[in-house]
Amino acid sequence: MLSFLALKNDIEKHLKQRLDTYLTLFVDYYGIEKDWPGISLDEQERSTFSVAQKAKRVNEATFKEVCELFGDYNPDKRFISFIAMYEFEALLFSDSKYLRHA
């Protein structure tokens, strides 16, 4: 399991290193702790939100949190949040001709 508290230190270090680089995440949704921005859903949201809605909520909340925490390093232009809704292994065993149209 990965907590946002633990990862935010790494995010800060990478954003501070060079101001001409980009930073992204590749984090598994089901591997993140409950402290992650946007992860908390009430029972109704959990049962009615689609996978796409959950991904959008968590990615937008993560982006917003990083921008608030590290605004001095231009994360709004340099940070790309990517929380994968399925395990990385699912991409390895996917058919590329179908992924191309997603």
What is the domain range of residue 37? 4-99
Task: Write out the E strands in the chain.
Answer: 23-24, 27-28, 79-80, 83-84
Q: Please give the pLDDT value at position 92.
A: 72
* Cβ-Cβ contacts under 8 Å for 21 (sequence gap 6 or more): 14, 78
Distance CA 80, CA 97 (A): 25
Q: Please give the pLDDT value at position 80.
A: 96
Q: What is the pLDDT of residues 76-99, one digit of tens each?
A: 999 999 998 877 776 677 777 766
| CB 24 within 8 Å of CB 87 | no
pLDDT in tens, the chain (102 residues): 899 999 999 999 999 998 899 999 989 888 899 899 998 867 667 778 888 888 999 999 999 999 999 999 999 999 999 998 877 776 677 777 766 655
Q: How many domains does the chain have?
A: 1
